Structure 1
Amino acid sequence: MATRSTISRRQFLWISGASVVGVVAAACGSPASPAPAEPAAAPAATSAPAAVEAGTGSRFNEAPMLRELVNQGQLPPVDERMPLNPLVSEVEEEIGQYGGTWRRVWLGPSDAYGMWRLRHETLLRWSADSTYVTPNVAESWEVNEDGTEFTIHLREGMRWSDGEPFTADDMLYWYEVQLNPDLTPVKNVRMSLGDEFGKMEKVDDYTVKISFSKSYGLFELQMASEFEPYLPKHYMQQFDPAHADPAELDAKLQEAGLDQPQQLFSLRSSWSQNPDLPVLSPWVVKAEPTVTLWPAERNPYYWKVDEAGNQLPYIDTIMHELLQERELVTLKVVAGEVDMQSRHLGVNDLPLYMENREKGDYRVLMWPTTQGSSYCLMFNQNYDADPKVAEFLRNVDFRRALSLAINREEMNQVVYLGLGTPRQSTLLPQSPGFNEEWATAYTEYDPERANQMLDELGLTERDSEGFRLLPDGSGPLTIVIAHPNNIGSDPTELVKSYWEAVGVKTVIDTQERSVHYEKMHANELQVAPWGNEEMIYPLFLVYPWWVMPYGTSSRIAPLSGLWYQTNGQQGVEPEGDLRRVIELYEQAKATPNEEERFQAAMEMMRINAENLWTVGCVAVSETPVVVKNNFRNVPEKHLHGTVNGSPGNARPWTWFFRQA
């Protein structure tokens, strides 16, 4: 049996390189001396962790607010709340100080993924530089030689946020729920290999074995990638028809105003919707996400410490202020009312961030990203509401023509201040397997050629406004871009002008983010814009939403994604190259051979480049991060992705407010 605690760095290469906006980074310079904050906006007072007193018998130190609860008899001593072997987190700059409220902004419940990034606790965790995976909830793990068995060792003595023990039974209960189609209509895809759902067995109270009938070479990376295979059994069974008293469950359904047990189970197992749910995260939400100020307070049973034995996190509370419009985020930032945030910040507002640094008492960091395209357009291959439009969405020459109609250089200057690179949404230059031809295919601005290609598709006749009529003359071909309101609208407005300049009538349907996803899952979208993350090998293999029909949130084919996740029981069976990329992905998942995995992955990317299901526009290689000057331990450079959990893998539980 091969024992591992991390995987080899040869899994992939990330070269962060020099900043593409070096002038911005240089302008930030050393942090300015913190200016006095307004009393109403200042974070709560903090205090430095005291050294663990000799002779007390305590292994750890704790936050003053928790020590007070211990003294009052409301909380067990810190040693009784910690596992035998807590995870020791390194700090970026220095041992921190306890206390304070971290102010952030968000756009409401559909934006909860931003908080998830700060509080998720996967079995394993991506390293800070995203080049390998490390222990996390799992203290260690082992893989057999052929990659069919994965033995997970949990931390003895670890506890849920309500103080109850966290054991193998909580993982086995999650597995039981996964096997119950009434509670889990679609099983977790990361535990699936082809049509096989992995087997989970309890070895002892702190050891679990996950096995497959054939090699699953990618599973180590999957365990660090949005994979939290556990539920608090002691709490969730009261909402589970297989365990709950029927009369009590009916009463809970009536109280919640719900009809089906599955609805209640889903609601109560949601960390963002249910403040009572026991969790393993550093902070625990304390209100439903509809409030104006959404708080998350420190977990008194959190199982990580710094190198000096101080229980983490340092910060007491994270407070998300609800904003109705994305544009308001910038106003809050430049006013100095946000302590640290990257979410919803863009380079188009970079001059404002830079100009207001002294006034707002913050510094601006530039973090490299994994985005192959900061703005791209995904063409739904399953769209069927209007068969005449669907025919063109599925035509590769139509997609290529619309790509040629986009003036990427102008978009880069107007929207991204010239800081981006016109390109398709494919592997980044820093990634193994990067192919220049894939990045530049059909990216030149050539409206003349675009017009010619559209003519050759039979779109030769036009109406009085110059829009191309459908071949049967029934009306203008109209493409609807479903624009989610959480991303900037400027590039979409430009695309509309570019496409209409070659005669394709274009309508922008602006949608609230949750509505956007509802329509996506219902297969109602034609074209959807987004940023395309994880364009680095092998990160995209554990976040393949953009390059294959992976699920109902795969904008290129949501119903084929449903077909994939349900093993053909639901959705629409993909054909041709859509089917081929799924087959290649399964090969890449299964093989324990790194070269075979790489070759399958590159063939997936080649097929994507050829088909242009996603049309990329401009990639900005760095994203701004605004950090208050007294908010410390935040890395100057950090790879900002999605599946790596950024900024969660930059250890936000070690971030703190430095007080004079």
Structure 2
Amino acid sequence: MKKLISLILALAMIASFAMVASGEAAYTQAPYWEGKDLPAVADRLPAEPMVEDADYLTVGVYGGELKTSTSSSSWTTGKIIEEGLFRFTTEGVAVPNVAKGYSVNEDATVYTIYLREGMKWSDGAPFTAEDCVWFYNKVCLNKVDSKGVRACHKDADGNPAVVEKVDDTTFTVTFGTPKYGFIEALCVDLKWHFAPKHIFEGMVDDIIAGNDEAALIKAKEICGVEFADVSKAGKEMLYYFWNYAGIPTLNPYVLSTEAGKNDVKGDYYEYIRNPYYWKVDTAGQQLPYIDKIVYTAIQNVDQSLMLLLDGTVDFQTVGMDSLATIMTDAQVAINIYEYSSGSWGDTGTQVHCNLSIADEKLNALFNNAAFREALSICVDREEFAGLYSDGWLEGGQAAPSEGQLGYSEAWAKKWCEYDVAKAKSLLESAGLVMGADGYYDFADGTDFALNIVSVADSGAADTYALLKVYYDAAGIKTTFRDYDRSNVDNMMLANEIECVLFPVTGLGDISIALKPNSMVPGTATNVVWYGNMTKETATGDLLKLIELKEKLDVTADTDERTAISLEMLKLHEENMWSIAYVASAPTYHAVNARIHNFLENGVWSDIYRDLGIAHVQCWYIAE
């Protein structure tokens, strides 16, 4: 089911869900905590816990282990348990989460955020506005977490917001110009807006002061890991914090500190329930229901499928080509849940040429629409899609799916015809000349090769092998190499990638207004097609796209914002800055029937934190 994001500007403090007043309810805890040296559950909860009361939820039972597998940790283990100040509902409305609520002044320059009194970190230390203000002023402003000040915290002039503490449960975010949609942008760009100051203050102060050796010693004391340098320590511990034992969080589950279960790079590890988790169900039971999430490391998709079929794991995100096998070979009852996709075409077949690459000849070529069209139409999409997906998927383009804002049939079919002769003509019109070896060269006679990279173990190598046949037939010489994700990240930051297949950040999402990262130059550092392009270096329609984004940022009216968004999408349709060869497909989740409260008909999008929208803290096990 496809849903469009509706931008809501709240002009008064709003309540997120019904609150259970501590004086009126007898809270209960999981049997897991019985006999443990902990305060009473009522003392571990905030004065007004958040109540998970979505219509589809039923009151669950405690206990059990949620078993799954993954080939890597990173965001896989993070998104499913992530808790931000605010979060999106399945209707795309931003509502309070960690925060109790907020208010905003008339010109949208001052946002006041209200927290829950008595809330605690997973180690029992108080969570207060100090953690939110310190995180922004020390970590973000000094780029200690590698990300720095996100777009959500910048005003229309690019200046950072001022974040100030009012009291223990209140802080303000002040902008130099109106910042409409800040709460929605916060859900996308920063999410949490906090870190445990009582844990990190000393380490961060040392990093800022340039005392690297002292900072690295403190980092090891916190999580037991030796980092090569402070930039790595800051990024890993303050951005990927959930993957390090000993770091308190507000998440429903925290990484175990027990040896043999606490290394996300190992073969097995566990995330155990947070004793101070601040949410309850409608019956007053402290969440989560399930005691722990256990991960088994795998090497490939086949291994993952085998573990699912025999019941070793409880849930797995699977490809369409696995559905038939699951239906016929599963040894346990499995439910299939279909989530619609926000990506523009199948991300695994997206090809992004870097429009800001430093090499002048490549830059001119990639910015020539004739070259991009040739790269698109030289592939027989229907044949390729059949080979790529074993007949499950259809050919397509990097365009919004039907039902998404900006969709048009013309866009979905643009540059999709298979025509090698026309592709060669377009390559020649772009300034390339056929060489003696049957491949096109630059006009000055120097060799041209499209050097494609991707992330190792992503499946891109197999996809490239299929595409190379078509590229060769059109006279396009290509090379391919895949790297570890960390190397690809560094190459993107250095703007060294010429072309990527199956990009780390795929083009498209359910809202160009809420998450422009993949669609507007200068809004992210991990998007290959625009690289390090900024307003100062952009020209033509790319500059217009950036200017429309700036206009969007200072527009309050919902209808006007939608109109601007459509203008931005139209520029993408007209220019086709990136291409895809296969239409986007739904995301499928195969879930053991013993798991209850799994969200049906969701939307798979980074905006919704992928599986995070399904709220794992509400799942329970009933055989």
Question: What TM bracket, shorter-length normalisation?
Answer: 0.7 to 0.9
Matches within 5 A, 1:191-590: 191-193=153-155, 194-225=157-188, 226-241=190-205, 249=215, 251-252=217-218, 261=230, 263-269=232-238, 270-286=240-256, 287-342=262-317, 345-357=318-330, 359-374=331-346, 375-384=349-358, 386-464=359-437, 466-475=438-447, 477-489=448-460, 490-530=462-502, 535=508, 538=511, 541-560=514-533, 573-590=537-554
Distance 1:414-1:354 versus aligned 2 partners, 3 A rule? farther
Matches within 5 A, 1:611-622: 611-622=575-586
Q: Give the equivalent residue in structure 2 for 1:20.
A: none
Distance 1:260 1:401 in 2: 44
* Higher mean C-alpha displacement, 322-331 vs 291-300: 322-331
| Paired residue secondary structure (2:581) | strand
Distance 1:162-1:254 versus aligned 2 partners, 3 A rule? closer
Distance 1:620 1:522 in 2: 30
8 Å Cα contact 1:203/1:209 also seen in 2: yes
Q: CA deviation at 1:534?
A: 8.2
* Higher mean C-alpha displacement, 386-395 vs 633-642: 386-395
Structure 2 letter corresponding to 1:64: P
| Paired residue secondary structure (2:580) | strand
Q: CA deviation at 1:189?
A: 2.4
Distance 1:340-1:258 versus aligned 2 partners, 3 A rule? closer
Q: Give the equivalent residue in structure 1 for 2:123.
A: 162
Structure 2 letter corresponding to 1:150: Y
Distance 1:253 1:368 in 2: 41
Distance 1:416 1:503 in 2: 25
1:62 aligned onto 2:29? yes
Distance 1:488 1:516 in 2: 15
Distance 1:361-1:220 versus aligned 2 partners, 3 A rule? same
* 2:94 alignment partner, one of 133, 149, 154: 133
* 1:79 alignment partner, one of 39, 42, 58: 42
Query: 1:460-512, CA deviations, whole angstroms, 9 ceiling, x for partnerless residues?
Result: 32333x2223322233x211221223433343332222221111012221223
Distance 1:405-1:123 versus aligned 2 partners, 3 A rule? same
Q: CA deviation at 1:250?
A: 7.2
Name stretches of at least 5 consecutive residues in structure 1 with no aligned partner.
8-51
8 Å Cα contact 1:533/1:642 also seen in 2: no
* Higher mean C-alpha displacement, 270-279 vs 151-160: 270-279
Q: CA deviation at 1:416?
A: 3.2
8 Å Cα contact 1:130/1:644 also seen in 2: no
Q: CA deviation at 1:279?
A: 0.5
Distance 1:179-1:370 versus aligned 2 partners, 3 A rule? closer
Distance 1:543 1:283 in 2: 30
Structure 2 letter corresponding to 1:172: V
Distance 1:417-1:635 versus aligned 2 partners, 3 A rule? farther
8 Å Cα contact 2:398/2:580 also seen in 1: yes
| Paired residue secondary structure (2:514) | helix
| Paired residue secondary structure (1:210) | strand
| Paired residue secondary structure (2:589) | strand
Q: Give the equivalent residue in structure 1 for 2:7.
A: none
Query: 1:306-346, CA deviations, whole angstroms, 9 ceiling, x for partnerless residues?
Result: 1111111111111222223345333333343221122xx22
8 Å Cα contact 1:221/1:542 also seen in 2: no
Distance 2:281 2:586 in 1: 29
Structure 2 letter corresponding to 1:481: I
Q: CA deviation at 1:547?
A: 4.1
Distance 1:184 1:244 in 2: 12
Distance 1:159-1:271 versus aligned 2 partners, 3 A rule? same
Normalising by structure 2, report the TM-score: 0.87
8 Å Cα contact 2:154/2:160 also seen in 1: yes
Q: Give the equivalent residue in structure 2 for 1:11.
A: none
Q: CA deviation at 1:157?
A: 0.9
Q: Give the equivalent residue in structure 2 for 1:10.
A: none
| Paired residue secondary structure (1:279) | coil
Structure 1 letter corresponding to 2:182: F
Normalising by structure 1, report the TM-score: 0.83
* Higher mean C-alpha displacement, 348-357 vs 650-659: 348-357
Q: Give the equivalent residue in structure 2 for 1:35.
A: none
Distance 1:144-1:436 versus aligned 2 partners, 3 A rule? farther
CA-atom RMSD, angstroms? 2.9
Aligned residues: 590
Q: What is the identity percentage for the equivalent residue pairs of Structure 1 and Structure 2?
A: 27
Name stretches of at least 5 consecutive residues in structure 2 with no aligned partner.
1-9, 257-261
| Paired residue secondary structure (1:341) | strand
Distance 1:179 1:114 in 2: 23
